């Protein structure tokens, strides 16, 4: 029963409550010098369009496809969750920022290969694209700050054309360029 309380019924991924528990556990391990982790925030591009133009059933299918893509591409102790709405998040224990970006790009590519088609009419409605931002826990961070950096990188990815991956390093480069 407790396991069901921690799952998102639509995607089969962990839910926000499970995520909050897991990041706290990883953060405590980091504080005790027992490992580190990276965070990937993900947002489905133009998700509102799927719901508005094709109905919530198609929107639900899009969410399910993204959930399947995460399950397929995350391995071992990696942890994925539906963060809320069309946002997803992954925690990658003992994974460098560079490797988190590599994983994020693999996920992005896998999901973008999926072509949506309305079964009744055969109408193709395009591909699903996803924007992502990555960060890595560092000294002085809180659970909130590491997620906020991933979120800021995600919005940089959206602002730079969508369907790409940005990291906290991109945020730092943008700051020094101005």
Q: pLDDT digit string (tens) for 72-119?
A: 999 999 999 999 999 999 999 999 999 999 999 999 999 999 888 888
C-alpha closest to that of 73 among 116, 108, 97: 108
Question: Could you tell me the two tokens for 41?
Answer: 């925030």
Helix (H, G, I), strand (E, B) or coil at 166: strand
Eight-class DSSP state of 114 = P
Of 50-64, 86-100, 139-153, minimum mean pLDDT range:
50-64
Among the listed residues 28, 86, 148, 168, the single catalytic one is: 86
Compute the distance between CA of residue 164 and CA of residue 91 in angstroms, rounded to an integer. Answer: 18
Let me know: does 90 contact 79? Beta carbons within 8 Å: yes
Residue 152 confidence (pLDDT) above 80: yes
Residue 31 confidence (pLDDT) above 90: yes
Single pTM value for the model: 0.95
Determine how β-strand 87-93 pairs with β-strand 37-44. antiparallel
* 86 is known as an active-site residue: yes
Let me know: does 152 contact 131? Beta carbons within 8 Å: no
Residue 2 banded pLDDT, cuts 50, 70, 90: low
C-alpha closest to that of 83 among 48, 27, 43: 43
C-alpha of 5 from chain center: 21
Enclosing H/E stretch for 44: strand 37-44
**pLDDT cut 90: percent of the chain above it:** 84
Compute the distance between CA of residue 39 and CA of residue 169 in angstroms, rounded to an integer. Answer: 13
pLDDT, position 1: 59
């Amino acid at each position: 029963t407790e396991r069901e309380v921690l799952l998102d019924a639509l995607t089969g991924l962990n839910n926000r409550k499970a995520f909050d528990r897991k990041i706290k556990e990883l953060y405590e391990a980091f504080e005790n010098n027992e490992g580190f982790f990276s965070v990937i925030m993900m947002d489905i591009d133009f998700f509102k369009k799927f719901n508005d133009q094709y109905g919530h059933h198609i929107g639900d299918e899009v969410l399910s496809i993204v959930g399947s893509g995460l399950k397929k591409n995350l391995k071992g102790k990696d942890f994925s969750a539906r963060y809320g709405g069309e946002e997803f998040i992954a925690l990658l224990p003992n994974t460098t920022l560079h490797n988190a970006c590599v994983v994020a790009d693999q996920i992005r590519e896998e999901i973008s290969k999926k072509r949506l088609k309305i079964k009744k009419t055969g109408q193709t409605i395009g591909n699903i694209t996803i924007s992502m931002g990555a960060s890595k826990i560092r000294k002085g961070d809180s659970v909130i700050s590491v997620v906020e950096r991933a979120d800021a990188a995600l919005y940089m990815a959206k602002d730079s054309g969508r369907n790409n991956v940005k990291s906290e390093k991109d945020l730092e480069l943008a700051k020094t360029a101005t």
